[in-house]
Amino acid sequence: MNNMDKIVNLCKQYGFVFPGSEIYDGFANTWDFGPVGVELKNNIKKAWWKRFVQEDKNTYGVDAAILMNPKVWEASGHVSSFSDPKMDCKKCKQRFRADNLIEEYSNGTVAAEGMTNEEMEKYISDNNIKCPNCGGTNWSEIKQFKLMFETSRGTVEGNKDTVYLRPETCQGEYVNYVNVLRTSRTKVPFAIAQIGKSFRNEITPGNFLFRTIEFEQMELQKFCHEKDGMNFFNDYKKRALDFIIDLGLDKDKLRYHDHDKLAHYAKAACDIQYKFPIGWEELNGIHHRGTWDLSRHGEFSGKKLEYQDPDTNEKYIPNVIEYSIGADRLTLAILCEAYEVEKLDNDTREVMHFNPSIAPYKVAVLPLVKKYHKEKADEIYDLLSSEFMCTYDETGSIGKRYRRQDVIGTPFCITVDDDTLNNNTVTIRDRDTMNQITLDIKDAILYVKEKIEFR
Ligand code: GAP
């Protein structure tokens, strides 16, 4: 079993992530976060918000509607060109992205991104590229496959308008640029951030949470003067990398991937890639988008999106620097990084070495002997759970209970024993070192609080 399969099984077994609609035999490429997983993902989102919104006095949050006026998607270019080149294998009927087939075949040495459909068809035929599923070479012609999910709005049958499930959250930030500027009484440069669901009818979803059809994005748009654009671009490149290292990703498994080919309006683009068990893949993107977004929305809405600098009176359309990261993809990277099967003297243990600030539960409260220590343990649970997320376990040997906490990444286990009854002290066991210390219960709270802060 490869590492990704182990992670998928572990997630299912311990309540991180379940297959979507499982009792109906599932629904491909949808996943439900369970009790442990939802805590982990929420903590990751909170850490992002703390770092990029709370601690940055010129960044403002929004929570925009998923369904937007369809003109938004005309202005953004999604209606006309948000599609991938699909090809069907006529033998096994599986569907593939032609650009992916070429990139995989050439080991990334041929960039299919800039090729026309005819050029891709010729390359695939000249090189006799085989279907990864059945080995066949009888391919359909390439067709553009639309990636936006469509639905309709309207109460009268036959009189319905097409609307789209948003494929990215950032358009909710662009359309609120003037609202946020006005109500926050701020000046350019400033940023708008948002966390929310996006939907894409991906041709080849897969690899667990890596590519799904419904996912959460954490996106931030910095609105700035053209002269400051490259500085902010480089600044977000650095801050984006620092953030994921601070969350616990190994810096040797991270690298920048600067784009050679840019969209016609873009001035610079860079991904940060992480070495997933499936190989080096994009984790997040930083893009210098010039004035494209605000110019297009100005044009399509007929509204003035020009900014007038109150100090110099200069009028201009701000440039946009975008920083975008998938919350689910980052959760997957964190799960892969944290997982270890650790060899002990006469044993092994599965352990998730999460940074304590994002661990699902901060503390597990364990009465040593249920019969004698439960009442006090309940009291301590109530005390601690008003401060941070806790869990409670009274069944099985203490060793087994430690292992159960190790595998869900609980950084501290607090054991309640006779000493707790007699003099209010508890034993705190550290997940990573497995060392134990004894503290007064009040000091134990301070000890844990200090260690779980995200900085
Ligand atoms: N607004 C820019 C934008 O959406 P993107 O590169 O298409 O750019 C940004 O997406 C991030 O969203 C990616 O780096 C990735 O982390 C995440 N993402 C994109 N498509 C995804 C999918 N199908 N499943 C999970 N995460 C996805």
Output phi, psi for 299, to 5 deg. Answer: -65, -50
Report the atom number in ligand 1 closest to the C-alpha of 202.
23
Output the residue whose Cα is nearest ligand 1's atom 14.
284
Tell how far the Cα of 217 is from the centroid of ligand 1, in angstroms: 7
* pTM, entire model: 0.95
pLDDT tens string 357-379: 999 999 999 999 999 999 999 99
Res 108: pLDDT:
83
Please list the ranges in the chain whose pLDDT falls under 70. 156-157, 159
Res 114: pLDDT:
80
Res 111: pLDDT:
83
Report the atom number in ligand 1 closest to the C-alpha of 167.
4
Tell how far the Cα of 211 is from the centroid of ligand 1, in angstroms: 8
Q: Are 412 and 364 in contact (CB under 8 A)?
A: yes
pLDDT tens string 227-284: 999 999 999 999 999 999 999 999 999 999 999 889 899 999 999 999 999 999 999 9
